[in-house]
Copies of this chain bind each other. A is one copy, B any other.
Amino acid sequence: MGAVKARRMPRAVREQQMLDAAVRIFGQRGYTAASMDEIAELAGVSKPLVYLYLNSKEDLFTACIRREARALTEAVRAGVRPDLSADGQLWTGLRAFFTHTARNADAWAVLHLQARTHGERFAAEVTAMREEIVAFVTQLITAAARDVHRDPHLSEGEAAGLAEALVGAAESLADWAGTTEGVTAKQAAATLMNFAWAGLGDLMTGRPWSPPREPETEPVAQAG
């Protein structure tokens, strides 16, 4: 298991091996349950070397998050075809997204589950990436609205909410596709496009779904 043990490698290479191991362990065990011992062993080095290069468990985790966040955004960016229409761009972007998350399940677990569950410092790191993506999707939605009407029915706030929903759905479907046998990235993307885009289309043509009248809305507040 693991890579063949090769001693005396240049620092940069060893660092990547360590990050590979760390992403795998963090993704599978979770941040706290992951032990530096295990990571070092999987990386084929001794623990002190991990500390020498990556400083601490926190820093190591942060390095994982950064590397994988960058890898994911770049994969998506590379997938998007800017010459297509808004829905075409979304489609290709989603395909890239699902492909990347499915191929890098541990990295996705690190970003989507672990990083958000172990302290603000880590969460902030992913939030940056996520916001970048949400902003991009908001643009796409707004652009699409412009394609249909000169005078869009869509406020900025609404567009942001919809983007949030779309990204959220994508994230959940990524988990689903990663967990469920026989669901391809393409299928996941198609499902999401079907689910959302047609609806958005309707929305933009001025036929939004509207809730029935009702008397009262209680305020939302945390109980405990």
Given the known interface contacts A222-B103, A223-B103, the answer about A168 and B161 at a Cβ–Cβ threshold of 8 Å is no
Give Cα distance in the complex from A203 to B208, angstroms: 15
Stretch from A43-51, A53-61, A212-220 forming part of the interface with B? A212-220
**Does A199 interact with chain B (Cβ within 8 Å)?**
yes
Total residues of chain A contacting the partner, CB 8 A: 71
**Does A211 interact with chain B (Cβ within 8 Å)?**
yes
Which residues from B are CB-within-8-Å of A105? 222, 224
- Partner-B contacts on A (CB < 8 A): 20, 23-24, 30-33, 87-88, 91, 98-99, 102-106, 113-114, 116-118, 158, 161-162, 164-169, 171-173, 175-177, 183-203, 207-209, 211-212, 217-224
Q: Show 18 residue pairs from A and B whose CB-CB distance is below 8 angstroms, ordered by the A residue.
A: A20-B224, A30-B32, A91-B211, A102-B220, A117-B117, A162-B194, A164-B172, A165-B173, A165-B195, A184-B217, A186-B217, A189-B211, A190-B211, A193-B209, A198-B199, A198-B200, A198-B209, A201-B209
